[in-house]
Chain A
Amino acid sequence: MLTIIFFLSSGLFLGWSLGANDAANIFGTAVGTKMIKFKTAALICSIFIILGAVVSGAGASHTLGKLGAVNQLAGAFIVALAAAITVMWMTKAGLPVSTSQAIVGAIIGWNFFSQTATSMSSLYKIIGTWVFSPILSALFAFLFFHITKRIVEKSRIHLMRLDSYTRIGLLIVGAFGSYSLGANNIGNVMGVFINSSPFKDISIEGLFHLSSIQQLFLLGGIAIAFGVFTYSKKVMMTVGSGIFKLSPVTALVVVLASSITLFLFASQGLHDLLTSLHLPAFPLVPVSSSQAVVGSVMGISLAKGGRNINYKKLSQISMGWVATPLASAILAYVALFFMQNVFMQSVFQ
């Protein structure tokens, strides 16, 4: 049992850092501008992240599984650890880092080490989605911004009432965003452990069923929630008053646009519905919530006439598509070598 916990710890650590960093993408402005209390935000965020992870986390994780099926617990430990260290390192360097990109790099590193062929179709699908997701977010934000502006102007709603509606909106959209984040990003945290999951399915009287994967995701969700409670406040205060200076109403638009993007790339239900209607479905791929938010902010800048577009941020994002997976892959490869040859652990079958 202790070995299992030890090996899962890197994934849990990755979850913790995801919670610490990414909760701010959803509730950052709301908390930073004091529209919502941190405790309320953290509670809602945690509950919905766990729900999203357990209920609809499978889809995006599945794609990661196709990219490389890490089949030994020790290997999975190293893959998650390499991703976590990359995330930490990039965060320290002040780059908008994504756990999705780090874990994909680490999985590819494992593929190289174990001489497993990387599924190129999965890789293209994943990278294509990374490029597409901020653009999609920007489009949503552009559209929602115009709609919201029109509604607020036409409705002649009083500033006080607008304020209270915005608070309620931020809570609801925040809950949706947290759910989508949990569903889309749990694969990053726990996906690599799926094939070596130590858990057994639990079924109580046929009423309640929790598969081994869901238990894994529940654990990952709790780790994310822990990150939200212990560390995200600091990040939220920076987001709320720092990089993206948004009014509460525009923050609502940004969070809604980003959440929908995350949801589209995570929802199995929507995927099945679109497929059954013979429509092109969104691939279920873990994307970066930070980049979705940056995309949304760009969308708003465009809607306001293209002022204040932060080209530096844009170039940082595209750099992240290459640099993060590369760093993480190299780190994973080296660490796997040490795990196998120094600590004498089998890292693949």
Chain B
Amino acid sequence: MPKFFNSKSKQLEGDIDGFLDRVTTAGLIFQEGVKAYVIGKKDKFEKNYKDITDLESDADNIRRDIKHKLYTYMLIPESRGDVLGLLETLDDIVDICEKVLEQFSIENPEIPEFLKSDFIELSELSSKTVEEVVKAARAFFREIGMVSDYVNKVHFYEHEADDVEEHLKRSAFNSDEIKRFSHKVHMRYFAEKIAAVSDVAESVAERLSVYAIKRRI
């Protein structure tokens, strides 16, 4: 019986780690994709977009598999709800990363030179929040005391992202270089979309800090 318990647990441990790896990768591909688009490397961007689409469906499958196993084998009855909630919201991050690249691919926004650095910085900060929230999630599984450290970092980067987003939007609307109002609105729209990644990461971090309190022995 102990072997049975252990093998299932180890399998799930691997599945969860695999899922978390994919979330981190999604954040990185997202960052690279935005950068590639902004600096005009369209081929690289399309490759990033394809990669993230594959990754998104892959992450979905793993999450469903974990859910199925947790219920079938009656594992972690106490924290099952929290763990599934955590994985679902982390999956939302992957979804939104994919959606943003999809919007770039469909709408082909025209990024003026003076906004490029802001867009790149914003995507970097958003990706950073994803990286830190995944670390917080790993800590939730292994080292509960560390969760708050990573959650603080998520808050920090999200705040930074907010600042850059605001700066980007102000620059767009105050600029004479962008002639059409619709173009300014388009820039605002993409700034908000990219920043939304960090917002979702922050809400996952909020959940995590509550779960961590509940899980303390």
Contacts and interface: CB of A to CB of B under 8 A. Distances in A.
Interface of A: 33-35, 145, 148-149, 152-153, 156-161, 163-164, 167-168, 171, 247-250
A156 B139 CA distance: 9
Given A152-B217, A164-B8, A159 B2 contact: no
A160 B74 CA distance: 11
Given A160-B13, A160-B16, A163-B9, A149 B217 contact: yes
B143 A248 contact: no
A249 B217 contact: yes
A35 B79 CA distance: 12
A300 B99 CA distance: 48
B179 interface: no
A159 B76 CA distance: 8
B7 to A, nearest CB: 9
Given A158-B13, A159-B83, A250-B217, A153 B143 contact: yes
B141 A164 contact: no
Given A160-B13, A247-B78, A153 B144 contact: yes
Interface residues of B, number: 25
Contact of A161 (B1, B13, B145): B13
Given A163-B76, A167-B5, A248-B77, 16 more contacts: A34-B77, A145-B217, A148-B217, A153-B143, A153-B144, A153-B145, A156-B143, A157-B142, A158-B9, A159-B140, A159-B215, A160-B9, A160-B10, A160-B76, A248-B78, A249-B217
B217 A247 contact: yes
Contacts of A148: 217
Contacts of A167: 5
Contacts of A158: 9, 13, 141-142
B155 to A, nearest CB: 24
A13 B1 CA distance: 34
Nearest to B7: A164
A149 B216 CA distance: 9
Interface string B48-85: 00000000000000000000000000111111000100
13 contacts: A34-B74, A34-B77, A148-B217, A158-B142, A159-B76, A159-B79, A160-B75, A163-B76, A164-B6, A164-B9, A168-B2, A168-B5, A247-B78
Nearest to B11: A160
- Which of B8, B83, B142, B144 is packed against the most chain A CB atoms within 10 Å? B142
A313 B106 CA distance: 66
Contact of A156 (B6, B8, B142, B215): B142
Contact of A164 (B5, B77, B83, B144): B5
Contact of B78 (A33, A152, A160): A33
B6 A161 contact: yes
Contacts of B5: 164, 167-168
Contacts of B79: 159
B41 to A, nearest CB: 40
A249 B215 CA distance: 10
Contacts of B8: 164
A247 B74 CA distance: 16
Interface in B5-24: 5-6, 8-10, 12-13, 16
B148 to A, nearest CB: 14
A171 B2 CA distance: 10
A164 to B, nearest CB: 4
A33 B13 CA distance: 21
Contacts of B12: 160
A158 B79 CA distance: 13
A84 to B, nearest CB: 35
B10 A161 contact: yes
A159 B77 contact: no
Contacts of B215: 159
